[in-house]
Amino acid sequence: MADTKKEELIRRLNRIRGQVEGILRMLDRPRPAVEIFHQITAAKRALDSTGRFILEDYIKENLKGVPRSKEEEIKLKDIIDIIEKF
């Protein structure tokens, strides 16, 4: 993984850690369950997004330098776009 990608990954994971720590703090103070649920949902989405970020990087790195036709290149871009939206 390139340094810039690694820095982005660390930034994302630190934000997720902050979200989880915030959820733990919410348990120490009486907070409505719906507020806790919203924070858990946000953390899950951030974790899912980070997983897609890693998967996209993995695909691109492992296919780097592999000769592809124009049609295959378009299909690969479509697959990566689908992964990003999933």
- pLDDT per position in the chain (86 positions), as tens? 788 999 999 999 999 999 999 999 999 998 999 999 999 999 999 999 999 899 888 888 888 888 888 888 888 888 888 887 77
* Amino acid at the residue 70: K
* Amino acid at the residue 80: I
pLDDT at 11: 97
Tokens of 62: 């492992």
pLDDT at 68: 84
Tally of structural domains, the chain = 1
pLDDT at 30: 87
Q: 22: domain range?
A: 3-85
Q: Considering the entire predicted model, what is its pTM? A: 0.78
Contacts of 20 (CB under 8 A, 6+ apart): 43
Closest CA to 1 of 52, 49, 42, 62: 62
CATH code, 77: 1.20.58.1000
From the CA atom positions of the chain, what is the Rg in Å?
A: 18
pLDDT at 83: 81
